[in-house]
């Protein structure tokens, strides 16, 4: 059958170049990536077979195999999972579909110095391509479960790859790395060494729920039986479900490796949250808050949701029903004891138990954030910087948890040392005589600081909350007040700040109004197309004039938002 040659997509080529020139120092992780893909492929097949009993696939012994060959200097990672069709190989392996990776590449291009590059690449999963850190040629042989014909993909990572249809491929995928010479000074180890392979699997992939077996160690005196026959292959991983074990039994590192597998992230999580619910509807949950917001968090089609297991069997990725959209950045696993293995998305949407789980998991996440806030201010600050804008959506959409949400919401402020404050703290330090909570919205801290609306407040030393996320416009209206104190925009309507000592008396002000009546009338006429009213104000101390919206009007930022949406 003819072999066709294709060019890698531009982004893919760039990523490959980075791999080949090994910007990433810890090269051992390539194996974690390949094992992770194999594990996903087994999950998918397990599920496909469950859904479709006419699927012509063998699911009797799903597993992962690692085979080393010292003479040929190869390492093969093999699974008998879902496999890929000819088209899928071209689409999934030849291009970079993941928008996060594409954004990462842009960032990388912008980073000038080599050190910055190293830091960046360490943060992003490069998946399958990481094989090119240790190999100068990679061959992938795959056959999609249920299909007759297989596909062979080969590349040296240099701009092109070849595709070929093959007749005799086994079900699933095998990836063979033709290894570069070992170079321990550059952390490039001998990956035909059984000892090394065992160490890496133990460290990064122990929790994988499928057996990872070591087979055919050509060139090494593996454990052969007395009669010269190879003994049964050794399983390298313990396959323990971390979520079912108590926290004391599991190391931080083990949790983190699980996170990296399910979160497709190379960085450590910010927070690990465990929940074991007992009683009539039993389930275990292990949730992670990432340390960085993904690039596509605000995209319409952001893939959110947790992994759902039923009695240790993987059921689905991206189960959206388990957490509300405003916690869409949370990753993790939920393992329920009493759901059917055949549970579908339609059933999930209506299931009473799923709704109960969502409520409980939501509260658990919010209480963890609350503890973070009291126990580790720095960590909370990171959390809020990365995810605050998303969490605040909950103030609009989840009235039941509004108090819990307000308790973990913080704001930039004109007052205070560290620059942020909660509503509770704001109210506590409100001086006598102040009845409202003042805030201003805007696109950036800078534009707010320069706003003429701020002048009178600055002059009088009144604290103002500085809100710069688009969602702020909306939730302040939805929430309205806190502990009986109204949330008041300083850019809307009339605000009576009372007189300062050095200010004019009532009489003086009246006289001034008379003096200026002519001018104001003239201005009203001239500006009638653009403004509703022109009046004298105590609001300003330096600027000669400012625009003020009616209390019921949209604020300028929201007007911009709607305008951008074409409304």
By the criterion CB under 6 A, which residues form the site for ligand ADP? 33, 37-38, 41, 79, 81-84, 92-93, 125, 127-128, 173, 264
Question: CA-based Rg of the chain, rounded to a whole angstrom?
Answer: 30
Residue list, annotated binding site: 33, 37, 79, 84, 99-100, 123-128, 173, 345
Choose from Mg ion, ligand ADP, none: what does 82 bind? Cβ within 5-8 Å by kind: ligand ADP
Closest listed residue to residue 468, CA positions, set 495, 497, 498, 447: 447
Choose from ligand ADP, Mg ion, none: what does 92 bind? Cβ within 5-8 Å by kind: ligand ADP
Closest listed residue to residue 287, CA positions, set 336, 319, 243: 243
Choose from ligand ADP, Mg ion, none: what does 271 bind? Cβ within 5-8 Å by kind: none
Residue list, annotated binding site for ATP: 33, 37, 79, 84, 99-100, 123-128, 173, 345
Shortest gap between Cβ of 174 and ligand ADP (angstroms)?
A: 8
β-sheet bridge partners, residue 230: 224
Q: How far is CA 418 from CA 242, 326, 412, 502, in A?
A: 38, 26, 9, 32
Q: Which of residues 23-42 bind Mg ion (CB under 5 A)?
A: 36-37
174 versus 441: smaller Cβ distance to Mg ion: 174
37 versus 272: smaller Cβ distance to Mg ion: 37
* Strand, helix or coil for residue 5: strand
Closest listed residue to residue 402, CA positions, set 520, 348, 482: 482
Note the helical H segments in 318-453.
345-350, 352-375, 377-391, 393-397, 402-408, 423-428, 445-449
Choose from ligand ADP, Mg ion, none: what does 410 bind? Cβ within 5-8 Å by kind: none
Choose from ligand ADP, Mg ion, none: what does 362 bind? Cβ within 5-8 Å by kind: none
Question: Which residue minimizes CB distance to ligand ADP?
Answer: 127
79 versus 463: smaller Cβ distance to Mg ion: 79
64 versus 197: smaller Cβ distance to ligand ADP: 64
Choose which of 81, 127, 233, 394 interacts with Mg ion (CB under 5 A): 127
224-228-232-238 Cα dihedral, nearest 10 degrees: 0
Choose from ligand ADP, Mg ion, none: what does 173 bind? Cβ within 5-8 Å by kind: ligand ADP
Shortest gap between Cβ of 126 and Mg ion (angstroms)?
A: 9
Shortest gap between Cβ of 82 and ligand ADP (angstroms)?
A: 6
Size of the site for Mg ion (CB under 5 A): 3
Q: Which stretch binds Mg ion (CB under 5 A): 84-92, 120-128, 455-463, 552-560?
A: 120-128
Separation between Cα atoms, residue 414 and residue 417, nearest integer Å: 10
* Strand, helix or coil for residue 333: strand
Query: Maximum Cα–Cα distance for the chain, whole Å?
Result: 114
Closest listed residue to residue 468, CA positions, set 439, 488, 444: 444
Shortest gap between Cβ of 183 and ligand ADP (angstroms)?
A: 24
- Residue 100: other Cβ atoms inside 10 A: 16
């Amino acid at each position: 059958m003819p072999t066709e040659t294709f060019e890698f997509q531009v982004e893919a080529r760039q990523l490959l170049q980075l791999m080949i020139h090994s910007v990433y120092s810890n090269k051992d992780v390539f194996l974690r990536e390949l094992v992770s893909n194999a594990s996903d492929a087994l999950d998918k097949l397990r599920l496909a077979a469950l859904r479709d009993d006419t699927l012509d696939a063998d699911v009797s012994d799903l597993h992962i195999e690692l085979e080393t060959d010292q003479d040929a200097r190869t390492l093969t990672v093999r699974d008998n999972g879902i496999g890929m069709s000819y088209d899928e190989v071209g689409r999934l392996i030849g291009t970079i579909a993941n928008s996060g990776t594409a954004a990462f590449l842009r960032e990388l291009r912008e980073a000038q110095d080599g050190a910055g590059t190293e830091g960046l690449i360490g943060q992003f999963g490069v998946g399958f391509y990481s094989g090119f850190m240790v190999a100068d040629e990679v061959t992938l042989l795959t056959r999609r479960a249920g299909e007759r014909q297989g596909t062979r993909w080969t590349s040296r990572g240099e701009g092109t790859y070849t595709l070929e249809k093959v007749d005799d491929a086994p079900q699933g995928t095998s990836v063979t790395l033709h290894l570069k010479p070992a170079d321990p000074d550059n952390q490039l180890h001998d990956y035909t060494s059984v000892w090394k392979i065992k160490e890496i699997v133990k460290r990064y992939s122990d929790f994988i729920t499928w057996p990872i077996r070591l087979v055919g160690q050509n060139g090494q005196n593996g454990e052969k039986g007395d009669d010269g026959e190879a003994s049964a292959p050794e399983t390298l991983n313990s396959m323990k479900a971390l979520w079912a074990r108590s926290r004391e039994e599991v190391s931080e590192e083990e949790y983190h490796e699980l996170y990296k597998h399910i979160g497709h992230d190379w960085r450590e999580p910010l927070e690990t949250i465990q929940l074991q619910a007992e009683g009539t509807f039993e389930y275990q949950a292990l949730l992670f808050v990432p340390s960085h917001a993904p690039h596509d968090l605000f995209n319409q089609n952001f893939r959110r949701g947790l992994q759902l297991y039923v009695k240790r069997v993987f059921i689905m990725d991206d189960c959206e029903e388990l957490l509300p959209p405003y916690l869409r950045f949370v990753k993790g696993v939920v393992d329920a004891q009493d759901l059917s293995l055949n549970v579908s998305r339609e059933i999930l949407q209506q299931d009473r138990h799923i709704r109960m789980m969502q409520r409980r998991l939501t509260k658990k996440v919010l209480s963890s954030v609350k503890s973070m806030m009291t126990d580790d201010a720095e960590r909370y600050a990171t959390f809020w910087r990365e995810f605050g804008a998303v969490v605040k959506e909950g103030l609009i959409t989840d009235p039941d948890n509004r108090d819990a949400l307000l308790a973990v919401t913080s704001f930039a402020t004109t007052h205070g040392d560290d620059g942020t404050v909660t509503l509770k703290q704001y109210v506590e330090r409100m001086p006598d005589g102040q009845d409202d909570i003042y805030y201003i919205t805007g696109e950036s801290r800078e534009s707010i600081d320069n706003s003429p609306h701020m002048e009178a407040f600055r002059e009088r030393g009144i604290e103002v909350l500085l809100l710069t996320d688009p969602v702020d416009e909306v939730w302040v209206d939805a929430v309205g007040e806190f502990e009986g104190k109204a949330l008041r925009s300083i850019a809307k309507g009339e605000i009576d700040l009372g007189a300062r000592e050095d200010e004019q008396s009532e009489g003086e002000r009246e006289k001034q109004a008379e003096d200026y009546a002519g001018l104001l009338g003239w201005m009203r006429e001239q500006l009638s197309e653009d403004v509703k009213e022109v009046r004298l104000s105590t609001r300003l101390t330096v600027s000669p004039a400012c625009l003020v919206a009616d209390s019921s009007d949209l604020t300028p930022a929201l007007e911009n938002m709607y305008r951008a949406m074409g409304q």
